[in-house]
Structure 1
């Protein structure tokens, strides 16, 4: 075995270095930044809409412009990572979306905002497929589900912090300047990542021979290639089911990061202080802030609940499933169980949250819907890694593409339903719960372990 560039020869009995775990740190950090940049607009939208006179339908289209681009560019950016390596693609897309995060604050009308959010989505599309590509290269299989759970925990907690972060930043600067502040986070990440990361672990000076031995099964994943078995990808039933469940999951989940702040303000705004705990918190905050800002802070904190709980769901699913599998449990059975229970639970709890009148208890129920939603995530993305192999970037990109078509449809449908029903939020919750249930059904039949290629260079028939 070759010795990593710049490192001293390792004795066969040396303990493996732990350089690989820094890739998880980079993944989690970028996931946090990506979700802060993505979710910020949902909290800022009431102020944006008031300034630019956007209708509900226009707000839905702006939310969906991002997800349309995000979906369309998933496969191209995932394929680019497979062909060119994750490093160059990640640096490019992070700098791209950071620019258009700042540009969101420069928009002057509906069309300019629509175009900016579309271009922003085109950049963010490359994030998770290429992080998945990096993890499939740098981590042994036993660590992959756990790594995905940590990455998605970071993503959700970044999204959970975004509403409150936006409100607090907007107390100091305008909503326009706030987007410039958030853009700087991605620029800093890209600079540090460019200096540290290597597409192939053997090229990193901090990796010793013992750690390379742990990663030898990933050697094919590190090489660049573009010969994706598209026919196998497009004709395998499991891929369609995997795409379907992620479409349905994302349709439901995007409610939390687009329309939820509006729902809380319009439907629940007068009720937020009716809960004893919330009333006490309001009294404390009003010692520092105005009643109007206090209400915004409480609403922002509540709107982050589904993502906060979702982070715990992703973490729990990754840790528990990894331990069960390590003890000999069936990978297929474990992933199907978490997928089905997760989406079925999200459907039930989301609907229940609408009928619970106490605002804090209602948001706990909605938070638990987010928790169950994210029980599905580690298994979904680990499936892309196991099924995709050296094509993990393309496979995960295809799944995320379908998911974001669902994410694109969700905000538009909510806008239409509100318009057609004279803002009847109950119908929004009914439709979303049904969609979640369809995703649960898909998981009963997914084969999460059989790869596109049984062995190097041989595509399955």
Structure 2
């Protein structure tokens, strides 16, 4: 007598996570490609556009911990439905901004909504995946997020470009682009809320065999914010610091990188720059999935999951800093952007391990820990978009100093990883 097949409902959970990651980065990166048109129409300077970029970053940072903690308290189903609906509304509002302050306010509330995304996806993964599958799931998630962002410049460039002889483009005003992307989020939120349950044992599609594979993931006990445990842990401090440094450099790719290409390589056309703007996030996705796929083998070779994460973090972020340093010495657009892309690939070798460490170290406090780590990352992400134009203004529009700061940030992140021990447990 054959046993009934094991259900695979957790694959549907991964599908929802992947599609949300794509929507998240599409909505987030869209503004960088539309920025020149928005600046021209609204009469904004670079520094004023930097206010809009950094408003998102600060809101994203400030609401990470509340968003993650709320997921621990009431579950990711309710939180994700609400925050996705919220940021989709303000994606649309971004396109309809009429001056600087309406744009800044829209981006702030957009960031407030997106803050709850990845901590609650991580909480859902903690509930739905056995520990052996979590880093692989995070690798697939971040591959999707990066590639969603990677192809957004090309997609938005095509949507904005005017069609004509020998050209392809929809010729849409940027307002309609933001409207279309906002509606995608609304569809996702309604579909997810209808299907998802916070725990697999409460879902009708999950068989007893799949429950046995997943194991017990219901964490009982106090879900209050564990500030004492967080602040007493060196691993937590280092997770916060490495994510700050990683995000400081990473936000260059999703904010000022198209402007950098336009000013550094003036001989290229708009679509050529849009293609090159895809490179860092495309390569970053490769780094994320490589980390997810290689982790199991490296765990055996190095002797533990904690060592694998540490070495991928140290070597990945160190190599990222080196590649950015090399990119500054290269004069041709393709070679320089390829080096920047490799920097993104190497830095993202640390990404799945960072979120996997939050799941293992955090336990029932996963939402709080991952939210606090992402909060620190977004502080770096909020500082970078504002620092870039200020440095340019102080150096006669010289991009070399900014690139050097991004490289140093990666090197500091590599040092942090040397002190991270993901065998530590906050909930024991």
When the two structures are superposed, what TM-score results if normalisation uses the length of structure 2? 0.95
Structure 1: 4+ residue segments shifted above 3 A: 11-15
- For residue 363 of structure 1, give the secondary structure of its aligned residue in structure 2: helix
2:377 maps to 1:403: yes
Q: 1:154 aligns with which of 141, 144, 163?
A: 144
Q: How does 1:16-415 map to 2 (within 5 A)?
A: 16-171=6-161, 172=170, 173-220=172-219, 226-270=223-267, 272=268, 295-325=269-299, 329-415=303-389
Task: Choose 168-177 or 324-333, whichever is displaced more.
Answer: 324-333
- For residue 218 of structure 1, give the secondary structure of its aligned residue in structure 2: coil
Are the counterparts in 1 of residues 245 and 412 from structure 2 also a CA contact under 8 Å? yes
Are the counterparts in 1 of residues 364 and 427 from structure 2 also a CA contact under 8 Å? no
1:326 and 1:398 mapped to 2: Cα distance?
30
- For residue 219 of structure 1, give the secondary structure of its aligned residue in structure 2: coil
- For residue 421 of structure 2, give the secondary structure of its aligned residue in structure 1: coil
Deviation of 1:219 after TM superposition, in Å, equals: 2.3
Aligned residue pair count = 419
1:67 and 1:334 mapped to 2: Cα distance?
30
Task: Choose 192-201 or 54-63, whichever is displaced more.
Answer: 54-63
Deviation of 1:215 after TM superposition, in Å, equals: 2.2
2:316 and 2:216 mapped to 1: Cα distance?
31
1:374 and 1:224 mapped to 2: Cα distance?
34
In structure 2, the residue matched to 1:276 is none
1:377 and 1:16 mapped to 2: Cα distance?
30
Deviation of 1:169 after TM superposition, in Å, equals: 1.4
- For residue 226 of structure 1, give the secondary structure of its aligned residue in structure 2: coil
Q: Deviations over 1:247-288 (max 9, x none)?
A: 000000000000100010111122x3xxxxxxxxxxxxxxxx
Deviation of 1:361 after TM superposition, in Å, equals: 1.3
Task: Choose 202-211 or 133-142, whichever is displaced more.
Answer: 202-211
Q: 1:423 aligns with which of 397, 401, 410?
A: 397
Task: Choose 155-164 or 341-350, whichever is displaced more.
Answer: 341-350
1:301 and 1:328 mapped to 2: Cα distance?
38
Gaps of 5+ in 2: 162-169
Deviation of 1:226 after TM superposition, in Å, equals: 2.8
Are the counterparts in 1 of residues 302 and 308 from structure 2 also a CA contact under 8 Å? no
Q: 1:448 aligns with which of 418, 422, 425?
A: 422
Deviation of 1:200 after TM superposition, in Å, equals: 1.4
Change (3 A) 1:113 1:148: same
2:2 and 2:325 mapped to 1: Cα distance?
57
Task: Choose 85-94 or 343-352, whichever is displaced more.
Answer: 343-352
Q: Deviations over 1:123-157 (max 9, x none)?
A: 00000000000000000000000000000000000
1:200 and 1:191 mapped to 2: Cα distance?
19
2:229 and 2:280 mapped to 1: Cα distance?
36
In structure 2, the residue matched to 1:284 is none
Change (3 A) 1:203 1:12: farther
1:245 and 1:372 mapped to 2: Cα distance?
14
Task: Choose 101-110 or 211-220, whichever is displaced more.
Answer: 211-220
Are the counterparts in 2 of residues 63 and 408 from structure 1 also a CA contact under 8 Å? yes
1:129 and 1:325 mapped to 2: Cα distance?
25
Rg comparison, structure with higher value? 1
1:58 and 1:448 mapped to 2: Cα distance?
41
When the two structures are superposed, what TM-score results if normalisation uses the length of structure 1? 0.89
